[in-house]
Amino acid sequence: MSAQPQQPFVQSGEPLNVFLRKFWQRQVDAAEQETPDYRHPPLPLARIKKVMKSDPDVKMIAADAPILFCKACEIFISEITARAFIIADSNKRRTLSRADIAKALSKADQFDFLIDIVPRDDLPFPGASSSNGTAGKKNANIAAPKSNQTPPALEGSGGLDLENGEGSTGNGNETIEQLESLLSGGTPSERGSHS
């Protein structure tokens, strides 16, 4: 089987609606034709399983569930990256910034669950000039919370109840920390937390 050269998800200047149609068709085609390599997953399955087990209602996890979550995370990351590239490209830049990601997320209601992690206020783009010459300074203040800080919206609110879409009391902060750890590659002991 010869490997075809991978084409970029987004073409320069491509409108969002055209991109989305092609992106999701490409994902469906890939899922139908793909023979995944379970020995070398792109994301660590053990960490995915650990995050899944952080829910006290979960007793056992089927062997294929972390693999499915891994693929879902891959698609999720690809879509957000491509949406952010469209924003950067429309501003004649090739480098993605946090502001590009925030703006891309703000344009779709499906990403509202990330509101506590990625601020949705009007973020200036790096290099964009403002009337008082503070270009890009606001971005410096938006750094990710330190590992020992909890975002204000999460303090005491617990996690998300996936069944009814409301906040729950429990170890939601631990779940958020584990998700952040999964994305950053850190371990719980590096953050000073215990599981």
Residue recorded with tokens 């946090």: 98
Strand stretches in the chain, DSSP E: none
This prediction has a pTM of 0.54
Structure tokens at 101: 């990601």
First to last CA, the chain: 44
Average pLDDT over the chain, rounded to an integer:
70
Residue 33's pLDDT band, with cuts at 50, 70 and 90, is confident
Picking from 2-6, 108-112, 164-168, 177-181, which range would have the lowest pLDDT averaged per residue? 164-168
| Domains identified in the chain and CATH numbers | 16-187 (1.10.20.10)
Structure tokens at 132: 């008082």
pLDDT value of position 195? 42
pLDDT value of position 122? 55
**Rounded CA separation 54/87 (Å):** 35
pLDDT value of position 39? 76
Q: Is 2 helix (H, G, I), strand (E, B) or coil?
A: coil
Question: pLDDT, tens digit, for every residue of 75-115?
Answer: 899 899 989 988 998 899 989 999 999 999 998 888 888 88
Q: How many CA atoms lie within 13 A of 127 on its CB side?
A: 9
Q: Is 63 helix (H, G, I), strand (E, B) or coil?
A: coil
Q: Is 160 helix (H, G, I), strand (E, B) or coil?
A: strand
Length of the chain: 195
Residue 26's pLDDT band, with cuts at 50, 70 and 90, is confident
Residue, of 31 and 165, whose pLDDT is higher: 31
Residue recorded with tokens 């609110």: 157
Question: pLDDT, tens digit, for every residue of 134-149?
Answer: 444 444 444 444 444 4
